[in-house]
Amino acid sequence: MESKVGTMERRLSGEKALEQGQGVVRLAPAWVPRSFCRPGRRIKLHPDDYYALGLERGGIDERWFASTTKAENGPATPHDEGLSYVLADEAGTEKVLLRDLVEDFKAEVIGESLWKKYARWPMFSKFFDNLGPLPHHIHHRAQHAKNVGLEGKPEMYFFPSQVNAYPGEFAFTFFGLNPGTTREELRQVLVNFTKGDNKLLNISRAYRLTLDTGWDVPPGVLHAPGSLCTYEPQFASDVYAMFQSVLLHDHAVPPSLLWKNCPENRVGDFDYLVELLDWELNVDPLFERNRFMAPKPTGDAGEMGRAGYLQEWICYKCAEASAQRLTVMPGKSVTIRDAAAYGFILLEGHGQFGVWDIETPTLIRYGQLTNDEFFVTEAAARKGIKVVNRSKTQSLVMLKHFAENPDLIL
């Protein structure tokens, strides 16, 4: 338990960070390994550092943004893995967890509405960067996640062209199940999990992934993410279960992941696994029409263009988390106002965001600080932030991730 002195010190550091950034705080990169994944090497981490945490932990293939959620990576997981740190000085010697900043300053950081409803920052985003496809898996709905003390997890995908010069091994994602699939057919596939390839993909369908578009993935929907580097805004939870036993190139999934986040008294109960699915969403014959997301301007595109910028909704079919892409043209500046707190990651270019110099790094060493990720308090977002593109030739592009946003129209 943190001492009163420690609590006071972190509060002073948080206050310093908020004041120096005028409500915009700088975040340190939060890298996350996965033992069952292979790094796609597109998230700008130095080539020597993808296994910086040790071979037993696996390769680093995720970077988490604006995260107050600890990564669930087994008993060897450090206490702060996946958590974002707020930097209170240039060198990063004085820092405080974003989770603690929110706890200490509450509505001052995330706004009255979010604080009253959640008493925490209830989302995070990430770059997911895997060389090949992931197993067909599911994130639990609220009623099932609650059985193991967790929360349900809606998430969304967007595939930025800036981090996808190479598409990886399989740029297709399986979503849901073929229309007409029965619960008994799925149950039998799960029973066959330990017999080799359980052929789950035989009763599902793949969709080719298109750069600079996205997908909505509600909890309870099976999905096997493809190999594009993916930006993923999501509710603050790390709950899942893997339903596919053997992947492309014969990569096997341990049975323990089939029963991950399953109550102890239901382990071995295949009917329970079937219950995890939102069945109608999984067999929806119009799945692509209902879940696919192409960017759409947040306002009048012509008016924004004349002002030298374009802001678009890129993830917008989920109330709990959403995202925008902001593009500022070369040599232009614009003041952006938002109705809610948000984090952002800079994808391209360099310039200024409020009082901060911002820049897109080419290569990042593990543990190195950057100037590409920030968090904006609700008060600062509502007041407005001046964004300046200092390049005469290159656009400045950032992705902004929100929790509940009053400006979002579902």
Predicted pLDDT of residue 55: 92
CATH of the domain at 394: 2.60.120.10
User: Please, which residues bridge with residue 87 across strands?
Assistant: 26, 95
Distant-in-sequence contacts of 305-314, Cβ < 8 A, 24+ apart = 307/332, 307/334, 308/332, 308/333, 308/334, 309/334, 309/387, 311/336, 313/408, 314/158, 314/214, 314/399
Q: pLDDT at position 75, please?
A: 86
Q: Look at residue 252 and tell me if it is in a domain.
A: yes
**Does residue 327 lie within any of the structural domains?**
yes
* Same domain assignment for residues 303 and 271: no
Print pLDDT tens along the chain (410 aa): 566 667 899 999 999 999 999 999 999 999 999 887 899 999 999 999 999 999 999 999 999 999 999 998 888 899 999 999 999 999 999 999 999 999 999 999 999 999 999 999 999 999 999 999 999 999 999 999 999 999 999 999 999 999 999 999 999 999 999 999 999 999 999 999 999 999 999 999 999 999 999 999 999 999 999 999 999 999 998 899 999 999 998 989 999 999 999 999 999 999 999 999 999 999 999 999 999 999 999 999 999 999 999 999 999 999 999 999 999 999 999 999 999 999 999 999 999 999 999 999 999 999 999 999 999 999 999 999 999 999 999 999 999 999 999 999 98
Number of domains present in the structure of the chain: 2
Cα 305 from chain centre: 29
Q: Please tell me whether residues 371 and 358 are part of one structural domain.
A: yes
**361, part of any domain:** yes
Query: Which pLDDT score is estimated for 5?
Result: 61
pTM given for the model: 0.96
Q: Report the first-to-last Cα separation within the chain, whole angstroms.
A: 42
Q: Answer with the one of 250, 270, 293 that is the final residue of a domain.
A: 293
